[in-house]
Copies of this chain bind each other. A is one copy, B any other.
Amino acid sequence: MPAPFQRLDHIAIIVRDTDEALKFYRDQLGLPFLFSQVMPDAPIRLTHLDAGGGVHLQLVQPLKDDHPLNAWLQKNGEGLQHLCFKVDSVAESMKTLPGQGLTVRDKAPRCGPNGRASAFLDPAATRGVQLEITSDPSAG
C-alpha cells in the first residue's frame, strides 16, 4: 500500500489581522510573500509565504465574527493550527484513508486557494494534530 501522505504542503497559522501578521512573517522574518486570496464561502483570507523546500506558511484570517476560527482565536490566541499534506487526489484519498484508520471529517472536497481541493481529517484519529490533505486542481 503506498504511503497515504506524500509530503508537507503547508503549515497553517490563525491570525486576527493578515496585514499586521505580514509585518512579522514577511517583513521581520523575511519570508517571501506568495499570494493572498479571499475564499468567499468560508469566508476566510488565506495568505501564503514561502518557507523553503516547497513548503508554505499559510496565514488564515476568519472574516466574519461567528466563524469557528474566531472561537479558536478566543481560546488559543494567534498560533499554529494545522498541517496540510499533499496527496495525489483528495477525492481518491477520501475513499481510501478510512481503510487505513484515517477518517475524513469533510463529506466532500473543499475548494482551497488556486482551485485546489482539500479536506480535513477527523482530529480524533490524529493524535492532537489537526491534519488536512490537498491536491492539484486537475486531480480533483
Measured CB to CB, the residues of A under 8 A from B are 2-8, 11, 13, 15, 21, 24, 28-31, 51-55, 57, 76-83, 85-86, 100-102, 126-129
Contacts and interface: CB of A to CB of B under 8 A. Distances in A.
Contacts of A55: 8, 51-53, 55
| Total copies of the chain | 2
12 contacts: A3-B29, A5-B29, A5-B30, A6-B52, A7-B51, A29-B85, A51-B55, A52-B53, A53-B54, A55-B55, A78-B127, A80-B129
A93 to B, nearest CB: 12
B127 A15 contact: yes
A31 B52 contact: no
Contact of A128 (B77, B82, B85): B77
Nearest to A24: B127
A85 B52 CA distance: 10
B128 A79 contact: yes
